[in-house]
Amino acid sequence: MKYNVFVYGTLKRGFCNNVLLNDATFLGEAETINRMTMLSLGGFPMLVDSYGVSIIHGEVYEVDDDTLQELDNLEGHPNFYMRKTTNVSINGGKAVKAITYLKGKHYRPYGSAIVLSGAWTKERT
């Protein structure tokens, strides 16, 4: 099966975890349709979908079952991060549904800084 996955942090091109997407198809740069809140956990970000502060900027990939399982392992799904389907716009076009990883049910990111721009950059790592 194939899945669209929206990535917004260290899985993006040029970042350390993008190697997990070597077998995936890059569909384009994207942004969320709805506002979310991006938190900085130091070397990587985390999204929460409550208290939406900004549109989140990232990329969309088409992945297979094996790659999705690798992403789940990296993200600690469903405890540290958990999968959620959200609407994103690819390359400024129409909205598509994509899986993204948000704050998991057992993680409490107290004291984390909010990334107001909604964009994770190399300067943050």
- Structure confidence at residue 124 (pLDDT): 64
Distance, CA of 6 to CA of 12 (rounded, Å): 9
DSSP string, 40-57: E-SSSEEEESSS--BPPE
Model pTM? 0.94
- Structure confidence at residue 33 (pLDDT): 96
Catalytic residues: 75
Spatial contact of 37 and 96, defined as CB atoms under 8 Å apart: no
Determine if residue 29 is left, alpha or beta; phi over 0 gives left, psi from -120 to 50 gives alpha, anything else beta. Answer: beta
Domains present along the chain, CATH in parentheses: 2-110 (3.10.490.10)
Tens digit of pLDDT at every position of the chain (125 positions): 999 999 999 999 999 999 999 999 999 999 999 999 999 999 999 999 877 899 999 999 999 999 999 999 999 999 899 999 999 999 999 899 999 999 987 777 778 899 999 999 987 65
